Chain A
Amino acid sequence: MTLRSPIPHPTSRIPRRGGFTLIETALATVIIGVGVLALVDSQRAFLSSNSFSSQTATANYLANEIRELTRRLPKHDPVNGLFLDASNTLRGWTPRTGDTGPQDFAYITAFDNLLFRSSGTAGFADGDLPGPIDAFGTVIPDIDGNGNVRMNTATPAAPIPLAGWTQEVHVVKVDPFNNSRTYANSATLPPDGSTGFTGLAIDKFPLRVTVIVKYRGPFDSTDVEMGRSSWIVP
């Protein structure tokens, strides 16, 4: 009722007073609404893509930190080498006894199959360690908008690691002449008379290091790969 009264009836004697204004308004509302919705959706897409590109940049940064960290390390245990012991167990690939984290690692293969993430815990048994880490092997803290390191509520307070990020490291042996061909960690190459190749000992293979950086947002249920980087250590 309240809506009808101002709208002149076609048969009414009341002078016409813009009776289609409501239609126009409704139509305009619809049109403008569509536009606004499109704008909002664009904004959402914009934010999403902006966030993606930002996260991609972060992923590249985190991958490069691992690269820098491993840059000066030898491939295998430089003290005892890489070898199969009497029980045919591979030695010198995983972290040494006494190593507690990346700051202790003395060779590249110690990083193989490890995750460095904010939810990581000390110890190698569960395959993850606190992270993400920087080129010095230290955990990268989260920083608020004002540039302050966010601290937890423990006593004494400790920096909160960069949330949501995971650095996943894989190290694999590759063929010395073909970067795309990979081998088991304990592999050796036999001599090849056709090329004069004298064979390759267990510790002489080039290594390919791959860092996969993943991100899990606050409302995500799974990690999403944001970037990866691979390089060969000849």
Chain B
Amino acid sequence: MPGRMINTLSVPFRTLSRRRAGRAELAKGGKLSRRGVASILAMMFLVMFGSLSVAMAVASQGNLRTAETHLHVVKAMSAAETGMAIAQQQLSNAIARFVASKGTVDGGFGGRLWTGTTTGADGTVTILQARNGRTDSIVVRGIADALVSAHSADQNLVLAAGFPTNPGTFTPSGVDGTVYKLDTWVRTALTGLESDMSVSGAKGSAYQITYAPLANGTDVRIIVTGYSSVGTSGSGYLYRGATSDTSARLVGRTIQQDVRIAKRPKQAMLSPSRIMIGKNVDVIGSLGARYTDVTRTNGDPIQTKSDFSGLNNTLDAKLARFRAGCRTYDVDGDNRLRVNHPTESQGLPGAAEMTANGWPTGAFSDATHDGYVDEFDIFLNHYDTNHDGDVVLSTLLSAGTVNAGRTPEFTADDDLAVLLDGANPDRNQNGVFGFTNAQDNNRIVPISAPRDPGDRALGWRDGVLNYKDQYAKVRGRMIFQTSSSSWAAARGGSFGSLLEGPYVPPAGDTATRFGAGTDELPPLDQSSFTAAGASLQAIANGSAFSTQVAANLGVAVGTLPTYTELATNLTRPMYFRPDLADSYVVSKIGQHIWERMPFNSPSFADYYYRPRYQNMTFRSVQIPMGTNALFVNCTFIGVTFVRSYIDNTHTNWSLYGQMSIPSGQTLPTYNTAPLDKSDFLRYTTGNVTDGPSNYTSFPDPPIINGATVTGSARNTKLYSNNIRFHDCLIVGSIVGDTPTAYTNIRNKLQFTGSTRFSSTNPDDSSPAANPAASDMTEINKSSLMMPNYSVDVGSFDAPTDAYTGGGAPAAQNVQLRGSIVAGVLDIRGNARVDGALFMTFAPVYGQGPMLQNGNAVGNPANFNCTLGYFGPNDGDGEATDPNTLPIVGGQRIVGYDTDGDGIPDVDSTQPQPGGSTPIPFYGYGRVTINYDPTIPMPDGIPLPLSAVPLTLTYREGK
């Protein structure tokens, strides 16, 4: 068999040989010749196989080369991205060195900032020290210089051919002038990324940055090229199999992004005093707390109260259990527990605990499907009685929506319901949101239609609460100047119980940030705003206050000092002089000519005899210093300028002119306690015996308008303004002088009753009833600019939309916009702020209002910025905690009205006077603080400029 096999195998060869041999025979006369054709064939195969092998080797080498190239590309890209990160930081630092008083950065100003050619018309521009901690290497005039100086400190440079060896400005060639500025570009040297480029032959990755100012003046294009391998002798990337640097070539990647020079606040609220966020108050934006005196009673930089407490006892029990779980297991401190997190999920109650407490399955489930359980989930689970995923709101709130007619499940607090259902109005992020009539945005029952039905389809004001309503107590970060450890130590180890409600920080950020520096929390005070109101003040250019009052009354100005209001028609303009007999005023309108200050506060500090202006309209008016008026049912159109004496630094400034009601009397009279040396005869005689032994501890009398004043001339009420606006409509802005010192009593504004505050008249769209169009640019920058004033928006019982009892006043509706500035600000009731809040007063024990007669008094923590309702136990001494109010007739009351004006005259803690009417607590209302950094800032606020990356401009090049 083997032989046969061989033979069989040999046949083809043989046959083949014969055929070819036959041809050979013919050629050679029949002599058989064999030429090794098999070898030839084999060698042909060898050639073929060899070719294939070579081809495959080449292909595999190509693969390797492709992989190597890819590595280099990735390396170059990595270098470029590193360069971009460094460039953005350098540009941000360079821009932040420029502190500008001008409120907005337009193209012209931006261009001059870049080149350092700003003029006096641009306001003040202060250039701070370099933020890299080094002395500038050149004279810095503009941002371009600042960049060159910053990059001059760069080391590990690559001195490769074709690259600049030092940073500097240059004039590019061949660029499009419609896109770029044609001069003062900045470019850097080629900078090594990791290898020590000073080592001979080093070829590491590197990047080179170019800053190109754009033609629009406000934007700068950062262009970064990263190289994978570059050194003095060339590149280490050998192209096409080259074996020496001579044939090497650079592998680079270029990326670019635009950055805008802008001026904008960094937080929704920045305050050197305590920040208190109460129930039914939501903040969309970050909070900046500069308060650091944490060892004081209630010295908590930020305190937030849950929106869901107090609605239902069972819900309260669930929330208490949840908060206990958060305190132990909430790893990231956002008051939310991640359901799939091995640690945080332990904070949720197990089945046995649920059963033991009678809580249904799912009471602590993730109702919003966001991976977290927070108070909102527990609230939804609690009220979703039919477990369909929706909590149907009251008939009032579901009317007109697709959910009208469904059985209501949550009716306990319509204000809260609207706050939750109306949060984040632009659900589809298209920039169109709210109701057609802007006034409806802050109302429970809108009259107009939504501007964008798409938002309603995504759950906005759709009459139900569910997963579509993206609730957060604070949607942003809470940034503290104090340290976490010092605050915790002052509160016995933990401050967790003071921070209620879920906090949702931006992606990648933590909910809290402690130990923040001045770059994050700028140290603004009243001096920062001295010039900020100038533009607004300038357009408060209407007729004189007295002229407008007289015009409203239809009398001559000269008659006002002796004008006696007859009050024959209570709907017509009325003016009651403050020196009228109180009994006369009471006989006409049933109310006193004087009142406690703060109004309606159980803990008041003074009395004011107020001139009463009622049913009047003012336009672009300046309210003179010392007016201390009560405006009732008045309309203010345009900018209202409240005047005050600014040099109010005397230690007893708030005490001069202070009043009290002596025992047994009914009217307030001036206090007579000595306040300074002039209250003693020794001041004029010089005899020691004419004064007390502690005479020298008394301060000198105040100097006002350059002269020392004594006696009744020291009444500082005449040099300040403490004004109450009741049931008033403010269409425009209110601006004030900037007192040097914060005196919470002497310079104060209170907005009580059915206050309405808007930039457009909700009742009348005619030009006469609205600010001049030319004034709107400044008005939109700030609704309220009252540095070092104490401002109360809403009283301690602000009327709300939600109160349905009889006899309630019309609801408050306050809509503030822009940069809202006050010494200390309280907002209660129904209010919305779009913009940012700046507080100016930094309470320090033993200074300002906490220094009287040379003695340190008070508690810095009692000066706080309060949004919503708090009580004395929280450190808000002037207020009443709604939870502690007595229940009369089934509802909580704030006091008793004895004169029929709907305002409590007797505190709720006192016995009810005969014939009086209990005044109910109208509810918590709702307050929304919506951070809007795009609203232009007024001129004069010296904030560092910001670099805003324009993310959509990112491009990758070759």
Contact = CB atoms under 8 A, between A and B. Distances in A.
Say whether A and B bind each other.
yes
Interface of A: 2-3, 5-6, 16-18, 20-22, 24-25, 27-32, 34-36, 38-39, 41-43, 45-46, 48-50, 52-53, 56-57, 60, 63-64, 67, 72-74, 78-81, 96, 98-100, 103-104, 106, 175-181, 195-200, 208, 227, 229-234
A38 B53 contact: yes
B56 A180 contact: no
B179 interface: no
A60 B70 CA distance: 9
A79 B57 CA distance: 57
B826 interface: no
B196 A20 contact: no
B196 A79 contact: no
B56 A45 contact: yes
A31 to B, nearest CB: 4
B64 interface: yes
B87 to A, nearest CB: 9
B513 A79 contact: yes
Contacts of B74: 60, 63-64, 227, 229
B6 A106 contact: no
B133 interface: yes
Nearest to B61: A49
Most A-side CB within 10 Å, residue of B63, B205, B483, B508 = B63
B193 to A, nearest CB: 6
A81 B515 contact: yes
Nearest to B65: A53
Counting from the closest, the 5 A-B pairs by CB-CB distance are A196-B135, A35-B49, A72-B508, A28-B42, A53-B67
Question: Secondary structure of the A side of the interface?
Answer: mixed
B451 interface: no
Interface stretch (B32-40, B716-724, B829-837, B935-943): B32-40
6 contacts: A49-B67, A50-B63, A72-B508, A79-B512, A177-B153, A179-B194
Contact of A177 (B2, B34, B43, B155): B155
B19 to A, nearest CB: 12
Interface in B58-76: 59-61, 63-64, 66-67, 70-71, 74-75
Contact of B85 (A48, A176, A177, A232): A232
A119 B56 CA distance: 36
B3 A32 contact: no
A234 B89 contact: yes
B193 A230 contact: yes
Contacts of A74: 509
A106 B132 contact: no
Contacts of B155: 175, 177-178, 181
A36 B46 CA distance: 8
Interface of B: 2-3, 6-7, 9-10, 13-14, 17, 32, 34, 36-39, 41-43, 45-46, 48-50, 52-54, 56-57, 59-61, 63-64, 66-67, 70-71, 74-75, 78, 81-82, 85-86, 89-90, 132-135, 153-156, 191-197, 204-205, 329, 331-333, 341-343, 483-485, 507-510, 512-515
A6 B9 CA distance: 11
Contact of A78 (B10, B42, B135, B509): B509
Contact of B60 (A32, A46, A73): A46
Contact of A28 (B41, B49, B85, B135): B41
A73 to B, nearest CB: 6
B34 A18 contact: yes
B67 A180 contact: no
A122 to B, nearest CB: 8
B156 A178 contact: yes
B140 to A, nearest CB: 13
Contact of B514 (A45, A52, A79): A79
A21 B6 CA distance: 11
A52, A80, A177, A181, most chain B CB atoms within 10 A? A177
Contacts of A32: 42, 45-46, 49
B2 A231 contact: no
Contact of B513 (A31, A78, A196): A78
A18 B21 CA distance: 10
Contacts of A39: 49, 52-53, 56
Contact of A42 (B34, B53, B70): B53
Contacts of B32: 16
A62 to B, nearest CB: 11
A195 B137 CA distance: 9
A199 B134 CA distance: 9
Nearest to B508: A72
A234 to B, nearest CB: 4
B67 A72 contact: no
A42 B56 contact: yes
Contacts of A229: 74-75, 78
A42 B55 CA distance: 9
B509 A21 contact: no
A222 B546 CA distance: 92
B6 A6 contact: yes
Contact of B82 (A27, A175, A231): A231
A6 B7 contact: yes
A35 B50 contact: yes
A6 B10 contact: yes
Contacts of B331: 96, 98-99, 104
B484 A180 contact: no
A45 B60 contact: yes
A32 B43 CA distance: 7
A52 to B, nearest CB: 6
Contacts of A35: 45-46, 48-50, 53
A96 B64 CA distance: 42
A230 B37 CA distance: 61
A51 B632 CA distance: 84
Contacts of A181: 155-156
Contacts of B41: 28
A29 B396 CA distance: 96
Contacts of B34: 18, 20
A13 B228 CA distance: 78
Nearest to B80: A231
B17 A18 contact: yes
Contacts of A52: 63-64, 67
Contact of B10 (A18, A175, A179): A18
Contacts of B46: 31-32, 34-35
B341 A104 contact: yes
Contacts of A21: 10, 13-14, 17, 38
Contacts of A80: 483-485, 514-515
Q: Which of A80, A96, A103 has the most CB of B within 10 A?
A: A80
A181 B156 CA distance: 9
Nearest to B62: A49
B332 A106 contact: yes
Contacts of A177: 132, 153-155
Contacts of B204: 180
